[in-house]
Amino acid sequence: MSTNYRVQFATNPDDFDSYDSRKIRDNFLLQNLFSDDSVNLIYTHYDRFIVGGAKPGKSTLKLDTIQPLKAEQFLDRRELGIINVGEKGIVTVDGKKYTLEYKEALYVGKEAGQVTFDRADGHQPLFYLNSAPAHHSYPIQKITQEEAEIVELGSLQTANHRVIRKLIVHSIVKTCQLQMGMTQLKEGSVWNTMPPHVHNRRMEAYFYFELPEDQAVCHFLGEPENTRHVWLHNQQAVLSPPWSVHCGSGTSNYTFIWGMAGENLDYGDMYQSKPTDLR
């Protein structure tokens, strides 16, 4: 079996107040998403959101069901978002092949059938995965970088000049609750999601990549008046509970993928905090 998983339980802000760095890392940092010839999944208790990675090698990788789902197939009651953060690769859904280039996305709806991952022409893809429970079956859809909804925010003066590409969002793709997109920091900018915000009707996960191997990102989480931090390296992810802010600053510019799930598909539904209000 090539699909591995672990379960990550949820926390509450009162408990979080007593966490040291080690316990923060244990509860929120997601490491080792990609390993050879494996699908690695983290089943979280934040909106039953799954974060994972698939790295196919010489043989085809299957996205097998896992015990917590109590389902015959992974997508029996779930939807899936896939973004390729490696070289060209192939995702096959119920026998139909989809070729994904670097940074291209694929939405796969509930009851779509068996999902497999393959290399293409000897290239090494890295498929980043997000999945959430689904109540309706929507069509499979591939989204290229050009088809994304693009927003440019921030400035070099405030070190947060960034381009946001909304890939799997309701204005582009019909989904039940899953949303995914990508934010790229311009050279000379290091702050993401600043000013930060909270959206208490959905959780979020950040996956950081295109970060030089000798650099790092300091990700901030917690209630606005009681923040903590966790250091991340390239191709690591972090969970953000609905009650937590989420923002970060790197020792270099970088790109990150945001994935969300909850009862609300309104991208702009959030409570912003002023930088001067953070503690």
The CATH number of residue 10's host domain is 2.60.120.10
Structural domain count, the chain: 2
Q: Is 122 a domain residue?
A: yes
Rg from Cα positions in the chain: 18
Is the residue at 53 inside a domain? yes
* End-of-domain residue from the set 99, 122, 143: 143
pLDDT one digit per residue (tens) for the chain, 279 residues: 589 999 999 999 999 999 999 999 999 999 999 999 999 999 999 999 999 999 999 889 999 999 999 999 999 999 999 999 999 999 999 999 999 999 999 999 999 999 999 999 999 999 999 999 999 999 999 999 999 999 999 999 999 999 999 999 999 999 999 999 999 999 999 999 888 888 888 899 999 999 999 999 999 999 999 999 999 999 999 999 999 999 999 999 999 999 999 887 777 777 788 888 888
Residues of the domain holding 203:
149-277
Q: Which of the listed residues 120, 143, 166 is the one where a domain comes to its end?
A: 143
At a CB cut-off of 8 Å and minimum separation 6, what does 146 contact? none
Q: Are residues 153 and 131 in the same domain?
A: no
Structural domain includes residue 24: no
Are 244 and 196 in the same domain? yes
| Token pair recorded at residue 257 | 């993928």
Query: Using a CB cutoff of 8 Å and minimum separation of 24, what contacts does 264-267 make?
Result: 264/199, 264/201, 264/202, 265/169, 265/170, 265/175, 265/177, 265/179, 267/166, 267/169, 267/170, 267/179
Say what the pTM is.
0.96
- The verdict on 117 and 190 lying in the same domain is no
Q: Do 138 and 165 reside in the same domain of the chain?
A: no
**Sign of the C-alpha dihedral computed for residues 95, 67, 2 and 91 taken in this order:** positive
> What is the number of other CB atoms lying within 10 angstroms of the CB of residue 122?
7
Is 242 a domain residue?
Answer: yes
Verify that 155 and 139 share a domain, yes or no: no
Task: Specify whether 124 is located in the same domain as 192.
Answer: no
Residue 163 sits in the same domain as residue 273? yes
SS3 at position 66:
coil
Is residue 273, in this structure, part of any structural domain at all? yes
Q: Is residue 182, in this structure, part of any structural domain at all?
A: yes
**Are residue 242 and residue 110 in the same domain, yes or no?**
no
131-185: per-residue pLDDT in tens? 999 999 999 999 999 999 999 999 999 999 999 999 999 999 999 999 999 999 9
**Residue 156 and residue 198 share a domain:** yes
Tell me, yes or no, whether 127 and 195 share the same domain.
no
**8 with 138, same domain?**
yes
100, 120, 143: which is the final residue of a domain? 143
Cα–Cα distance measured from residue 218 to residue 121, given in angstroms and rounded to the nearest whole number: 37
Tell me: do 56 and 155 sit in the same domain: no
